[in-house]
Amino acid sequence: MTDQTADISALVLFSGGQDSATCLAWALARFSHVETLGFSYGQRHIVELACREALIAGMASLRPDWATKLGEAHTLDIPTLSAISDTALTRDMAIEMGADGLPNTFVPGRNLVFLTFAAALAYRRGITHIVGGMCETDYSGYPDCRDDTIKALNTALNLGMARPFELHTPLMWLDKAATWSLAHDLGGETLIDLIRDQSHTCYLGERGERHDWGYGCGECPACQLRARGWSGYVATRSKATP
């Protein structure tokens, strides 16, 4: 893999989920220094934040050069996001579709807030590359995951902070099966196993049962999407193996 940004630092939005873990590996393969940022915003699945340490340690042990690239791990508390929202990710309510056609797991403004805080932190840290796991190929219709949204916000951040930030979304046009394949390309079966065992994506925060694709309730939209992606990935790998 050609390293085109060998002497540049990056800040990765790192929740502890499958997508952000893959994005962290993607950044480590491209940048010389990588810091991570997670948010505690009153999410029901806050257990995801506890997964980050094991994921970072696993990636550091996977490749010596990745270990030297890993920098500070940041966490920002933004409880206001939960206080002003009324969603299934921030309240104890059933997950269902809303009258507006969006699932009630949509937290209005979440990615806009995350990326704005990330840019503010990156400004102080002297970082201009910010990496996020937003995706509109295999998602729940969240408007703040769309490529147009990210590009518009990128422009606003550059204007508002007078810095040439570049927002990277390596998963934007990948479905979950392709995301698993990307993880395999970056770190082989070792990275795949690390993500399956240590990441967390279940909306309900369940880590009791270990499925083929990892831990979760197995029923929420996040688990179902991850399970379908794993099945697609396994099928693709089987066809590629003689």
Q: What's the per-residue H, E or C state across 162-182?
A: CCCCEEECCCCCCCHHHHHHH
Parallel, antiparallel or unpaired: strands 5-13 and 31-40? parallel
- Better pLDDT: 167 or 47: 167
- Please report, as a single letter, which amino acid is at residue 212: D
- Secondary structure (3-state) at 199: coil
Per-residue confidence at 238, pLDDT binned at 50, 70, 90?
confident
Q: Name which residue leads in pLDDT, 105 or 14.
A: 14
Q: Residue 2: pLDDT band by 50, 70, 90 thresholds? A: very low
Prediction pTM value? 0.91
Of 70-84, 135-149, 158-172, where does mean pLDDT reach its minimum?
A: 135-149
pLDDT tens, 47-94? 888 999 999 999 999 999 999 999 999 999 988 887 877 666 665 666
Q: Which domains does the chain have, with CATH numbers?
A: 7-201 (3.40.50.620)
**DSSP of 23-63, one letter per residue?**
HHHHHHTTEEEEEEEEEESS-TTTHHHHTHHHHHHHHHHH-
Give the rounded percent of residues in the chain with a pLDDT score beyond 90: 66
Kindly tell me the burial class for residue 211, based on how many C-beta atoms sit within 10 Å of its own C-beta (0-12, 13-18, 19 or more): middle
Mean pLDDT of 179-203: 96
Q: What is the mean pLDDT of the chain?
A: 89
CA–CA dist 233, 178 (Å, integer): 7
Q: What is the pLDDT of residues 12-33, one digit of tens each?
A: 999 999 999 999 999 999 999 9
pLDDT of 1 strictly over 50: no
